[in-house]
Amino acid sequence: MSEEIPHKIIDHIRFEVLSPQMIRRISVVEVQTADTYDESGMPVTSGLMDGRLGTLEPRQRCQTCGNTAVRCPGHFGHIELATPVIHVEFAGVIYDLLRSTCRSCGHILLSSEAIEKYKRKIEYYKETL
């Protein structure tokens, strides 16, 4: 007896940096304490091991999806920071962007021809995705 295995074809994949609004929207819990477990060994609510983030214990069920550790994929949480933080991986890009813009007016320090060339490249990539 052969079962038909459903399959999907991936059309495209897109990687991008999530906005703060999107992070809050998809988050299941705001982590507010670095505590993990209480005195009785249970995960601390709003802590790093909050049960809504998933479970590692075989006998516990995830508070978000209800699955055990084997089936629960884990869930996204977030930490609200007091001030914005620059991601270290973007520091070089930010530096390059600041060097390539005018400090007075903010315009890109490229010729009109170079700007048009890059615009065409961007449009080409948008159309091919």
Whole-angstrom distance, CA of residue 60 vs CA of residue 65: 12
| C-alpha to C-alpha distance for 66 and 48, rounded to whole angstroms | 19
Q: Which two tokens stand for residue 70?
A: 């084997």
Cα separation values, 51 from 7, 13, 30, 58, 111, Å? 32, 30, 12, 13, 55
> What is the tens place of the pLDDT at every residue in 89-123?
888 888 988 898 999 998 889 888 988 988 898 88
Three-state secondary structure call for residue 101: strand
Question: What Cα–Cα distance (Å) separates residue 81 from each residue in 4, 33, 85, 86?
Answer: 48, 12, 8, 12
Could you report the per-residue pLDDT of 19-69, keeping only the tens digit for each?
899 999 999 999 999 999 999 988 999 999 999 999 988 888 999 999 999
Q: How confident is the model at residue 16 (pLDDT cuts 50, 70, 90)?
A: confident
Element (H, E) at 117: helix 112-128
